[in-house]
Amino acid sequence: MAVATHSSADERHEQLRFVARVYGLRVLGLGAGALAVGAALHSVGASVVVWVGMLLHGLVWPHAVAWLARRSPQPQTIEFRSLIADSALGGFWVGCMHFMLLPSALLVTMLSMDKLAVGGWRFLARTASAQLIGALLGGLFNGFRVDLAAPLPVIVACLPLLVCYPLAVSTATYALVRKVRRQNHQLAQLSRVDALTGLLNRAAWEVEVAHEFIRAGRTATHATLLMIDIDHFKDVNDRCGHLTGDKVLRSVAAAITDSVRVVDVAGRYGGDEFGVVLTGVSIDDAMLVAERIRAQVEAQPSDPTLAEACTISIGAAEIDADCREVRDWLIAADAALYRAKTRGRNRSEAAAAA
């Protein structure tokens, strides 16, 4: 229930951001539109009622819609309805302007552009019919006439809308594209990380191991793989519960991170097993690193509910002539880990030399 409430609050927040985005564009679009339509209405000699309606739509309506939307539990619904109303009213002014070609085409294009931007072709099709009906009603309301030619003052009055509105819509669209790119990047990063420990997850770690295997082969440099497994971890879970088990997993991950360099690649291989690639490090030096990790895990208090210190076993393997592919490297480190387990645990073992 709490989750549902949280997600609906998030959704409302997202909808309010949409309202804020549309608000700025609507103030600009309808404000500049009022100038173009006003010039055309003046040229066709529109009635006072038409003038009042047009000014209310151009100057008051954007603020009224935003006010209503912010107070509504469904701000986006209010926003979409008012976009349809914008189209109908836009059509109405086209009729009132006696279908004067330039301001009419400009109005229809700008209104279509933002419908496309927020709701695609389907939404545009829905609003187009509202616009058409509005145009017929506007024509009837202001004495139906077709007067295509626009005098120079009308042409000049169209310029602010013609220039500023597309620039504003493009700027808003570009900001959205950047946001989506940023979020995609964050998602890609998150999909590489193990949520419990913060280390790379298995899939991402294996990709890095394969890269390192190729790199070490190409540059003929050392690279050593450590496979690390918590001793009797099942007992920890059974005796102290899974939450304590999770704490132990996190503390082992922290010990690994503390003991290796940023260029080394640490990951959670699965369950209670971890892997680390030590780049440019020979097996002898890697054994010192392994010992440092082992000693830190043994020394650190993982959880007060654990009677004894938690320990780990480590198997280490350097890339050698026997490692024809990355799988051989993993198997060699795993075999060394198995030996550490069978030789009593809480120890590090190097893979047997070729």
* Element at 318 (helix H, strand E): strand 312-318
Q: Which of 114, 212, 229, 318 binds ligand GTP (CB under 6 A)?
A: 229
Q: Which of 72, 237, 257, 300 binds ligand GTP (CB under 6 A)?
A: 237
Tell whether residue 349 is a contact of ligand GTP (CB under 6 A): no
8 A C-beta contact, residue 297 and residue 255: yes
Structure tokens at 98: 């006696």
Tell whether residue 239 is a contact of ligand GTP (CB under 6 A): no
SS3 call for 350: strand
Q: Pick between residue 246 and residue 322 the one whose CB is nearest to ligand GTP.
A: 246
User: Which residues inside 119-148 make contact with ligand GTP, applying CB under 6 A?
Assistant: none
Candidates 12-20, 178-186, 224-232, 278-286; binding stretch for ligand GTP (CB under 6 A): 224-232
Q: Which of 185, 242, 261, 343 binds ligand GTP (CB under 6 A)?
A: 242
DSSP letters spanning 107-176: HHHHHHHHHHHHHHHHHHHHHHHHHHHHHHHHHHHT---------HHHHHHHHHHHHHHHHHHHHHHHHH
Structure tokens at 331: 């198997």
Tell whether residue 341 is a contact of ligand GTP (CB under 6 A): yes
- Side chain identity at residue 177, one-letter code: V
Nearest one of 103, 83, 163, 95 to 133, comparing CA atoms: 95
Q: Which of 208, 246, 285, 322 binds ligand GTP (CB under 6 A)?
A: 246
Tell whether residue 178 is a contact of ligand GTP (CB under 6 A): no
Tell whether residue 309 is a contact of ligand GTP (CB under 6 A): no
Q: Pick between residue 242 and residue 343 the one whose CB is nearest to ligand GTP.
A: 242
Contact residues: ligand GTP, CB under 6 A:
196, 229-234, 237, 242, 245-246, 249, 271-272, 341, 345
